[in-house]
Amino acid sequence: MSLFWAILLLPIGIALLVKGADWLVDGAVALAERLGMTPLIIGLTIVAMGTSAPEIATSIAAALKGTGDIAVGNVYGSNIANLALVGGLCAAIRPIGVMPVALRRDIPLMLAAVLLLWPVLADTVISRPHAGLLLIVFAGILSLMIVTERRRALADRKALSELEERLEKTVGHIPKAVSRSIILIGLGLAALAGGAHLTVLSASALGRAMGISDAVIGLTIVAIGTSLPELATCLVASVKGHDDLSVGNLVGSNIFNTLLVPGAAGLVRPFEISSRLAGVDFWLMAGVSIIFAVLAFVQRRISRPAGLLLFIGYGGYLAYLFTLNS
């Protein structure tokens, strides 16, 4: 891509991200209302699946090429970026409230998914049986979240009534029809994907024009670019006061990344990874997940100081990667 097109397309990519996130949040909240479900479960499923789509596609492509380190490294990098970069930045701008159900169910399930990955990667090979196990556990976790959240929502009619009143005040312009909500979600996901692609390509071209090496571009611009859908969605959800959707997106995306991404990639084609990814890099990813969970449990929210801590920690992680690869 030429410098001219990079300068021209960068703001277009950013605009698509912003508008796509707006459509996705509005459509997801309206769909949750229409189906009698909370935005939390929509964030944990539909929104998380959509914003994790780039990671799934990237890891499957890497597995087909026999580059297992990219497939699994993509999982680690995305999980760390989701919690430390996206969660940290959003909380630094506006504290993110964490619902009790997320503390009791979703965050522990995220940690369980992360820890399950360790024995699977212990022999540095993801075989088809390994992949099948990850996918079975993923299906079980997803079913558990949907069933329990649906049951919780139906059991609490008063909460649903209050939710509907709040939605009428905050997003009353949103169409209530399921079909139109799904169209909004589809348009939002498409705009997020296109916006992230344009932004990464444009920013990479600008970085090369400024003399930044491909290694640094890959560790910064491209790594952050794959988390742009989560970042845009969580920022818009946070601004609109839908903390449950924001938390659901972050936690759900990490569960998708941890189980579905390597599971799908390994099922398509078994692959090997380096011992480093099965060791220190895994524990870095697990450590960030545990820190995020502790902050959420202690404060019942991700406060501004906690957000700044996570955001600064992500900067330290990038510095570590840069030093390691210099």
Domain ranges in the chain are 43-172+213-325
Q: Where are the alpha helices (DSSP H) in the chain?
A: 3-34, 39-42, 48-64, 68-80, 87-93, 100-101, 107-121, 128-155, 157-170, 178-209, 214-217, 223-225, 228-239, 243-255, 261-268, 275-278, 280-299, 304-325
HSE, CB side, 13 Å, CA atoms: give it for residue 158: 0
pLDDT under 50 in the chain at which residues?
163, 167, 170-175, 214-215, 218-219
β-bridge mates for residue 97, sequence order: 301
pLDDT on residue 250: 85
Which burial class, exposed, middle or buried, applies to 112 when counting CB atoms under 10 A from its CB (0-12, 13-18, 19+)?
middle
Query: Tell me: the pLDDT tens digits for 74-92?
Result: 788 888 988 999 889 888 8
Q: What is the pLDDT of residue 247?
A: 80
pLDDT computed for residue 293 by the predictor: 94
Annotation: CATH topology of 43-172+213-325: A middle domain of Talin 1 (1.20.1420)
pLDDT at 37: 63
